[in-house]
Amino acid sequence: PIGFILATGSFLTLGAFMSEQAFMTWGWRIPFISSALLVIIGLWIRLKLHETPAFQKVLDKQKEVNIPFFQVFKNHSKMLVLGTIAAICTFVVFYLTTVFALQWGTKQLGYSREEFLKLQLVATLCFAAFIPLSAVLAEKFGRKTTSIGVCVTSAIFGIFFADMLESGNTLIVFLFLCIGLAIMGLTYGPIGTVLSEIFPTSVRYTGSALTFNLAGIFGASFAPLIATKLATEYGLSAVGYYLTAASLLSLVAFLLIRETKNDDVNNQI
């Protein structure tokens, strides 16, 4: 959420100091070039990190996997597929309520970019607030149970997606963004833990990274394009059904993933 707030805030700031034409011609490059600084900071933080106690055990026992990438595909393909599908809902709900909603709201619903970005900026606070809430729920009721409940909530939200976004009422559109980003926070809280705990320690980093990034490819990269195509040809309701379908798909994956709440992941070598 902090990253999204910084990104949205940078675009709003640029929009306040330059014309629309100048922004579309060259101004949009400024935030992307500036983000190079964050890459350097991120690299510095990663270089300073220590190994987790669980992985240090793997090193101490000399059971480190030399090529974990191949081991994940060879020995943990089921969890790789299920983890990828489970995380798809997270990416679809996020990109539909941010990238697609902004595009559709400004080009089809008559909102200015500045007005819609301000709505998204405030709604992002819901994203931030619901991450720790979902983490508490996942710790209390289990990662699987919590994630299943969130997928059901997301599927229901998809049914009302079109009615809220194209309501013509700014307050309802703002509520739409708040609900969508709150659901994003609920999915985002447990997903990192889920994707980590379904793999043994020796390949945990590679396994969780692969599932998360594959879900990003299938859930995020194509979501705005698919949504735009559906909305243009079949109406905005089709986009909501797309979200519902993605949520139900992730729901099935979570049903097939074992609960890991009570597992001692430090002993999963």
What angle is formed at CA 253 by the lines to CA 250 and CA 256, rounded to 5 degrees?
A: 155
**Rounded CA gap, 162 and 180, in Å?**
12
What is the predicted pLDDT for the residue at 123? 94
What is the predicted pLDDT for the residue at 71? 84
Q: Tell me whether residue 92 is exposed, middle or buried, using C-beta atoms within 10 angstroms of its C-beta: 0 to 12, 13 to 18, 19 or more.
A: buried
Do residue 105 and residue 205 come from a single domain? yes
Do residue 30 and residue 62 come from a single domain? no
Do residue 35 and residue 116 come from a single domain? no
Range of the domain at 43: 1-49
Going by C-alpha positions, the residue among 183, 200, 180 that lies closest to residue 191 is 183
Do residue 100 and residue 204 come from a single domain? yes
In the block, tokens 């559109």 appear at 173
What is the predicted pLDDT for the residue at 59? 65
Do residue 68 and residue 188 come from a single domain? yes
CA dihedral of 228, 230, 234, 237, whole degrees rounded to 10: -90
Do residue 93 and residue 45 come from a single domain? no
- Chain centre distance of CA 148: 16
Do residue 214 and residue 251 come from a single domain? yes
- Indicate the pTM of the whole model: 0.83
- Complete DSSP assignment for 144-171: HHHHHHHHHHHHHHHHHHHHHHTSS-HH
List the chain pLDDT tens, one digit each, 269 residues: 888 888 888 888 887 888 878 888 888 888 888 888 888 988 999 888 887 776 677 666 655 566 677 888 888 899 999 999 999 999 999 999 999 999 999 999 999 888 999 999 999 999 999 999 999 999 999 999 999 999 999 999 999 999 999 998 999 999 999 999 999 999 998 998 899 888 888 788 889 999 999 999 988 888 888 999 999 999 999 999 999 999 999 999 999 998 877 776 665 55
Which tokens sit at 37? Answer: 């600084």
Do residue 179 and residue 84 come from a single domain? yes
Do residue 137 and residue 230 come from a single domain? yes
Do residue 107 and residue 231 come from a single domain? yes
Do residue 123 and residue 31 come from a single domain? no
CA dihedral of 256, 87, 240, 106, whole degrees rounded to 10: 180
CATH number at residue 259: 1.20.1250.20
The number of folded domains in the chain is 2
